[in-house]
Amino acid sequence: MQQPAPKPDVLAKRAEIIGGLKAILPNDAVIGDEISLKPYETDGLTAYKQAPLAVVLPSDEAQVAAVMRFCNLHGVRVVPRGAGTSLSGGALPLEDAVVVGMMRMNRILEINYADRYAVVQPGVTNIGITQAVQDEQFFYAPDPSSQLACMIGGNVSMNSGGAHCLKYGVTANNLLGLRLVTIEGEVLEIGGAHMDAAGYDWLGLITGSEGQLGILTEVTVRILRSPEGARAMLAGFDSNEVAGACVDAIISSGIIPVALEFMDRPAIHACEDFAHAGYPLEAEALLIIEVEGSEDEQTDMLRRIRDICAAYHPISMRVSETAEESAAIWKGRKGAFGAVGRISPDYLCMDGTIPTSQLPNVLRRIGQMSDDYGLKVANIFHAGDGNLHPLIMFNANDPESFHKAEAFGADILCLCVEVGGCLTGEHGVGVEKRDLMSVQFTPAELAQMRGIKTAFDPQWLLNPAKVFPLQ
Ligand SMILES: Cc1cc2nc3c(=O)[nH]c(=O)nc-3n(C[C@H](O)[C@H](O)[C@H](O)COP(=O)(O)OP(=O)(O)OC[C@H]3O[C@@H](n4cnc5c(N)ncnc54)[C@H](O)[C@@H]3O)c2cc1C
């Protein structure tokens, strides 16, 4: 993968830069030795690795601002980092960049149940927000499968989603306010604890900006009342296409389950092996459908969904009867990426979105591509949102196999655009899809986006290798 040319002046002044950072931060907040930099070389897209120039670990907003002022003055590139779980290489370092790790800024600052919001630092984990409010029967809705590790600053920067975003929306729909430190070290306060904001929709602009416009130091999120109850059901089908058609029928009927997830045969077997959730091993494709509400609401919705599924001749249908059964169903789904790692240690996790009516067509064409490339694929995804995650299995010890996997992945994403969808669903562009952006956007559109980046970051110091094709 091509990276922007490193700045020779910055590389030559490495020791001086590390010394300068130590002068503005506590000694233990600056990492410069080769061994200690190792854990920061990669993120969830492990196919790419690059050691940074240094890593800093600020503990408060003033320290973030001091680092930004220093880097801006010395023309040093900056890569913000949360937990490093990005699957698109969003947190991949550059040789001449300082990685700003946000994990020490991990405090919950305020919880307001009356007005239903929480103010948190960016290094609070996604699950940490729900854990902080669940005793009062509240929760934070977006639930990426990486929620035990990934941090809210990373979630905002990638506009992350999750299984339950079908009903509640993604991060953007659950955000109220932000504090952002610019590359000049200025603090911007955007939105607040209230609905909407005067003027341009800055919140929308910063959400999903992949660490390219500033560093988030505070996030205000909506918290919601927990539902009265929830129940999951499983429906197994004898082909991916039929299961895809059933998803479209459920969504177009107007029913909104809280989650509607899809697994194909390789995924069903991998997940059942470790979760023992009772997934139907004879099925080619499985839908996990969850509804929530009062007992009556759940019963009514499940009845309507079962009627729709029945029209697609499922080979099995089962509604979970206990909280333990539901938990096992979700344990399998949420651990799916790890489970596929047991079949193939190396895989690329793609992420694209399509209209749900295209599911049967796109799943069929992915199957054909898998045959053409001679690489296996497992499909596990947020079907109700049309958000695909084909996992392309390859052998990392064989460069040809890796290149084939990359080409296969690019073909899938181009297909998503071709059928009226989008290059990303929830994992962002990062380095992974950077060179495909011109498939989705015209030169004029990309120029406008570059103009916005330049307005925030005139020297292009903030995470510059991501999102835009290298010129
Ligand atoms: C097993 C697994 C399952 C996953 N499942 C899902 C899923 O279901 N849904 C989903 O959406 N994603 C999923 N992901 C992807 C990933 O977890 C998300 O993209 C997540 O939001 C990244 O958060 P992070 O804290 O790890 O951020 P990082 O990976 O460290 O960074 C991600 C991006 O955010 C920027 N960034 C981080 N913190 C800040 C900050 N404070 N200010 C400015 N920029 C910042 C970085 O520069 C980078 O561009 C999964 C990943 C894994 C490994």
pLDDT tens-digit readout, 348-377: 999 999 999 999 999 999 999 999 999 999
Token output for 399: 């460069």
- Condensed to tens digits (0 to 9), the pLDDT of residues 145-194 reads 999 999 999 999 999 999 999 999 999 999 999 999 999 999 999 999 98
Contact 190/203 with Cβ under 8 angstroms? yes
The pTM score is 0.96
How much of the chain exceeds pLDDT 70, in percent?
100
- Secondary structure letter of residue 228 according to DSSP: S
Question: Quick check: 125 pLDDT over 80?
Answer: yes
Contact 460/117 with Cβ under 8 angstroms? no
What is the average pLDDT value for the chain, to the nearest integer?
95
pLDDT at 197: 80
pLDDT at 415: 97
54-56 and 285-292 beta bridge pairing? unpaired
Looking up tokens 């801006």 gives: 72
Q: Three-state SS across 407-446? A: HHHHHHHHHHHHCCCECCCCCCCCCCCHHHHHHHCCHHHH
Supply the residue whose CA is at minimum distance from atom 15 of ligand 1.
Answer: 86
- Secondary structure letter of residue 196 according to DSSP: S
- Condensed to tens digits (0 to 9), the pLDDT of residues 427-437 reads 999 999 999 99
Supply the residue whose CA is at minimum distance from atom 37 of ligand 1.
Answer: 154
pLDDT at 362: 95
Contact 17/74 with Cβ under 8 angstroms? yes
Identity (one letter) of the amino acid at 343? I
Separation in Å, CA 275 to CA 147, 278, 329, 471: 18, 8, 8, 46
Question: Quick check: 73 pLDDT over 90?
Answer: yes
Token output for 24: 């503005």
Token output for 5: 């040319």
- Condensed to tens digits (0 to 9), the pLDDT of residues 452-468 reads 999 999 999 999 999 99
**Cα 84 to middle of ligand 1, angstroms:** 6
pLDDT at 165: 93
CB distance 58 to ligand 1 below 6 Å: no
87 CA: nearest ligand 1 atom = 15
How much of the chain exceeds pLDDT 90, in percent?
91
Supply the residue whose CA is at minimum distance from atom 19 of ligand 1.
Answer: 86
Question: Quick check: 438 pLDDT over 80?
Answer: yes
- Condensed to tens digits (0 to 9), the pLDDT of residues 78-98 reads 999 999 999 999 999 999 999
Is the pLDDT higher at 328 or at 215? 215
**Cα 64 to middle of ligand 1, angstroms:** 19
pLDDT grade for 334, boundaries at 50, 70 and 90 = confident
Give 75's Cβ-side CA count (13 Å radius).
9
CA distance 221 to 131: 14
CB distance 216 to ligand 1 below 6 Å: yes
Supply the residue whose CA is at minimum distance from atom 34 of ligand 1.
Answer: 154
**Cα 283 to middle of ligand 1, angstroms:** 32
Question: Quick check: 322 pLDDT over 80?
Answer: yes
Token output for 262: 């899809």
**Cα 308 to middle of ligand 1, angstroms:** 35
